[in-house]
Amino acid sequence: MFIKYIKIIIKKILKKFNISIFTNIPKKRLLKFIELLKPHNLGYDLIRIGDGNEAGYLVPNILDKIKYCFSPGVGQSSQFESDLEKRGIKSYLADFSVDKVENLKISSFLKKNINSYNSKNTISINDWIEQNSSEYEENFLLEMDVDGSEFEILSSITEKNLKRFGILVIEFHYFELIAHEAFFKIYFPLIEKIRGSFEVAHLHPNNACPLIEASGVEFPSGLEITFLNKKFVKEKKKIKFLPHKLDKKCIISKDDIFLPSYWYN
């Protein structure tokens, strides 16, 4: 919490004196980045899995084809995995900050953080997947909210293992930094990597923070993105508006935020 407030203070000081320690990305390139994230109707209804707010996500209704769920970062709720169990889907959960997971019957928990390397308290994303599945199994679901570690994890996953997933549900953090050259060089190729095998099925901004303008483009600090493996895509049609009728605020006590239309039109 202390680090969070320090970041806020630093941002305010830099903004007041119009100081930037990075080269700013022009609006045209930011809009090109947003093109990679625009959601489409991919031929399936979206359904809500998980509890009513922060631990609930929208996914394409293909769960009858999903083999397992991999969930790095357990957090305060395992309702998402509990709902999957009701559909007969086993989850593999991992989080070093949690001692155990309650109310799950067929799922498995590992007290380690998922990362790009192995250590006493971490296991690489690739080893974790491969230790919990046979070489030829596929059509997994990845549900991940790891407070910024998603960039390292997803950058290190092999393309072979990435393509084994049917659905990705990922909350990306710190999108407000996208206008800075150093961060753009991380975000853009990572999304390009994912988009090589996946289409975007849904976007939902986390309302923990308001939208932040960067080079004339508004970004949420946290953005939940649902991807669908291209092999499942039936069609690709533009959606007319966001939010989806099943979307709910992540933080009940805060005002909701809405993505501008250039995020989906």
Q: Determine what percent of the chain is predicted with pLDDT higher than 70.
A: 90
For residue 169, give the DSSP letter: E
What is residue 176's predicted lDDT score, i.e. its pLDDT? 86
What is residue 74's predicted lDDT score, i.e. its pLDDT? 86
pLDDT tens-place string over residues 32-57: 999 999 999 999 999 999 876 567 99
Asked if pLDDT for residue 15 goes beyond 80, the answer is no
pTM of the full structure? 0.90
Asked if pLDDT for residue 260 goes beyond 70, the answer is yes
pLDDT tens-place string over residues 122-171: 999 999 999 999 999 999 999 999 988 999 999 999 999 999 999 999 99
Contact between residue 222 and residue 208 where contact means Cβ atoms under 8 Å apart: yes
What is residue 3's predicted lDDT score, i.e. its pLDDT? 52
pLDDT tens-place string over residues 226-247: 999 999 999 999 999 999 999 9
Contact between residue 170 and residue 198 where contact means Cβ atoms under 8 Å apart: no
Burial of residue 208, with CB atoms counted within 10 A of its CB: 0-12 exposed, 13-18 middle, 19 or more buried: middle
β-bridge mates for residue 213, sequence order: 218
Cα(167)–Cα(141) distance, integer angstroms = 5
Q: Classify each residue of 224-256 as buried b or exposed e, where b means 16 or more C-beta atoms within 10 Å of its C-beta.
A: bbbbbbeebbeeeeeeeebbeeebbbbeeeeee
Question: CA angle, 53 as apex, 221 and 3 as ends, to 5°?
Answer: 40
Contact between residue 52 and residue 246 where contact means Cβ atoms under 8 Å apart: no
What is residue 203's predicted lDDT score, i.e. its pLDDT? 98
- Which of 195 and 100 is assigned the larger pLDDT? 195
Contact residues for 148 (Cβ-Cβ < 8 A; gap 6+): 173, 174
Q: Determine what percent of the chain is predicted with pLDDT higher than 90.
A: 79
